[in-house]
Structure 1
Amino acid sequence: MPKPRSRENQGLPLRWRHTHGAYYYNVPPGLEHLWDNKKLFRLGSKLHEAYQAWAKRLGEQANVRTIGDLLDRYALEVIPTKSPASQASNQNQLKKIREVFGSMPLLPFRPQLIYQYIDARSKKKKDPETGKVTGGKIAAHREIEVLSHAYTKAVEWGYIDKHPFKGEVRLQGEQPRQRYVEDWEVEEILSLKPKRSAGSVRMIQAYVRLKLLTGMAQGDLLRLRLDENIKEDGIHNQRHKTKKAMEKWTIYAWSGELREAVKQSLETRPKDSPYLFCNREGRGYVNEDQGRASGWKSMWQRFMDRVLEETKVTEPFTEHDLRAKVGSDASSLEHARSLLAHADTKTTQRVYRRKAEVVEPIRRRPAKAEVPPTKAIDADLDRRVA
């Protein structure tokens, strides 16, 4: 009987192991020539790096019998095409679903298993060693989305004829946030006194002004370059999140307020840089290898801590809430869609239009009172009033 896998190796593909701070592949005997003549091949220190290295070395998985086999090919061919942030999250999600479904055959697959998995994973658990909380309904839904997409690819690759649970499972949808940032709250955060003339507070305040004028997402704002995006007719932006699916650009035409917001952003930079927002070294805040802006998020959290301590704002809000404020304050749904660079208005309406809708009540009474048909009615009314 094989030795059980250690805790850190559970959920990894077969012949993988994590040791000494890195991921390694235990090369099958006779295939060392394909792996630099090594029996133990180092894949990388990060999980997404390990999958990328593995994808370069392995060919197509021709013999797929189990869900684990399918997930292996999915990890090789599909995940590397996604953004770095999606790759990292998908790989962690693969580990979780592989632990439960990996040894099962592709078919038959009962849809009831999805409900059972959601119920089990929706219960949050705290790791006694690290103190990290895992699980939850949102995490469970994301993992099932990956499994469902893998089955969709299984149909495309010819392993099965029909998706076994698509259309058969109805999961409770997630409710979008309803936090609306009021105008007075914006005034409060913009009035926060900076401790330094060129510190992070002034930079974030300039960033907020620009965000409230354009509605651009964090990743797009932090990627703005003076040579590529700041043009004579306005700010040119192609949404980073959807540029593979939608190549359309958005031009935010210059206005007095927009020019002033860009000018303030330039003045708050700690160093000359190609980026509109940069760190002390002049580099942009987005780590393109990971698709994350960890340094900026830490700055924002410290800024929000000061806002809650030193202003009248009592309820924290996120950058995404500011983007939703732009969508809510826009003059029309179509204007909001254009500002937020959405493909259609469905997402705009559902997630970003958070203001209460003002409606006119139905008029039940006629505009003019009807003339009573007889004098007898008038007389009766006068008698009753008297």
Structure 2
Amino acid sequence: MYLRHGAYYFVDHGGRWHHLGRDKREALRRYADVATVPQAVSLGAWMDRYLREIVPRKGQRTQRDNAAEMERLRSVFGDMLPDEVRPGDIYRYIDARGAPTRANREIALLSHLYTQLIRWEVVEHNPCRGIERNRERPRQRYVTDEEFWAVHDIAAPVLQLGMRLAVLTGVRLGRMLSLRREHVTDDGLMVPATKGGRPLLVEWTPELRDVVDGLERLRAVASVYLVARRDGQPYTRDGWQSMWTRTRDRALAEGLIAEPFSWHDLRAKAGSEAGDEELLGHQDMRVLRRHYQRAPRRVRPNRVER
């Protein structure tokens, strides 16, 4: 707190001077109010609270993504006060970002931050509301059977079984790596519910039973995890992705496939070829049809007659 021209001021981390009044006792009271909520000084401080209190409730991958996204947001908005951010500032960020999809994710995170700020009674309005996001085109990469087996046949045994499990069940990678032996039931493979959904019981087929039994045989010791290393320990997401990327890139280098595809594209292959639209667990079938059904649609031609 500083005395300047007969009045008391508080200077925040951004160098801004806040008038506290001329009466010292009243100025001290106002200073105490400011000092007890240091996060209110800048949006960057509230970002820190969001990372501490909100992000840990999310999935591990989302936590990593949010941490990276928040650092980009911090570099632009971190020194601003929460109520200083205007829609024009957000549009300038989107235009300058240069990565349309990532910009959308970052502004979505900023919007959720402001939702929390409203709940924490820091601001009354969300400047992200009504912002027009970049248009995103659904990914169209469809993995053919030939491409699938070309990568499969040069992969390590555990990766081969994982690839087959992904296409048979459509299970996401994070969910697959978290499957435990208790999820192997008499009636089928129980896939735990995602947020807001219900568990899926994937009924046994000879192919699915063969994959699950194969995963059991690979381990040298017992494990609570269905997909595990030989020592019974679970794979990390990064470790699995590294193994996958090396194998996929080898297939590219050897000319076995012409274009790369991601592990997530295997989920789209499962959705494209599923005989049951419930396989991927979407409550809104429009998500399935827009993002996961990528195989060419078979249609009959018209007849042309004289």
Deviation at 1:252, TM superposition (A): 0.6
State the one-letter code of the partner of 1:77.
E
**Please, which runs of 5 or more residues in structure 1 have no aligned partner?**
1-13, 15-59, 123-135, 193-199, 287-292, 370-386
Residues 199-235 of structure 1 deviation map (CA, whole Å, 9 limit, x = unaligned): x612111222222211111112222222x11111111
Deviation at 1:92, TM superposition (A): 2.9
1:290 corresponds in structure 2 to none
Q: Could you say what secondary structure the match of 1:64 adopts?
A: helix
Deviation at 1:356, TM superposition (A): 2.6
Return the structure number with greater relative CO, CA threshold 8 A, min gap 6: 2
Deviation at 1:84, TM superposition (A): 3.0
Paired residues in the alignment total: 272
Q: After superposition, where does 1:195-344 map in structure 2 within 5 Å?
A: 201-226=156-181, 228-239=182-193, 242-243=194-195, 245-246=196-197, 248-286=198-236, 293-310=237-254, 312-331=256-275, 335-336=276-277, 338-344=278-284
> So what's the TM-score if we normalise by structure 1?
0.63
Q: After superposition, where does 1:1-12 map in structure 2 within 5 Å?
A: none
State the one-letter code of the partner of 1:277.
V
> So what's the TM-score if we normalise by structure 2?
0.78
**1:145 and 2:108 aligned:** yes
Gap change, CA 1:105 and 1:224, over 3 Å in 2: closer
**1:182 and 2:144 aligned:** yes
Deviation at 1:295, TM superposition (A): 1.4
Tell me how far apart the structure 2 counterparts of residues 72 and 308 of structure 1 sit (CA, whole Å). 42
State the one-letter code of the partner of 1:232.
D
Residues 254-303 of structure 1 deviation map (CA, whole Å, 9 limit, x = unaligned): 111211121222233354322222124320113xxxxxx12111111222
2:27 corresponds in structure 1 to none
Are the counterparts in 2 of residues 90 and 146 from structure 1 also a CA contact under 8 Å?
A: yes
Are the counterparts in 2 of residues 325 and 354 from structure 1 also a CA contact under 8 Å?
A: yes
1:87 to 51, 57, 63: 63
State the one-letter code of the partner of 2:104.
H
**1:76 and 2:52 aligned:** yes
State the one-letter code of the partner of 1:274.
V
Task: Work out which of the two has the higher radius of gyration on C-alpha atoms and give 1 or 2.
Answer: 1
**1:157 and 2:120 aligned:** yes
Counting aligned pairs with the same residue, the percent is 38
Gap change, CA 1:232 and 1:329, over 3 Å in 2: same
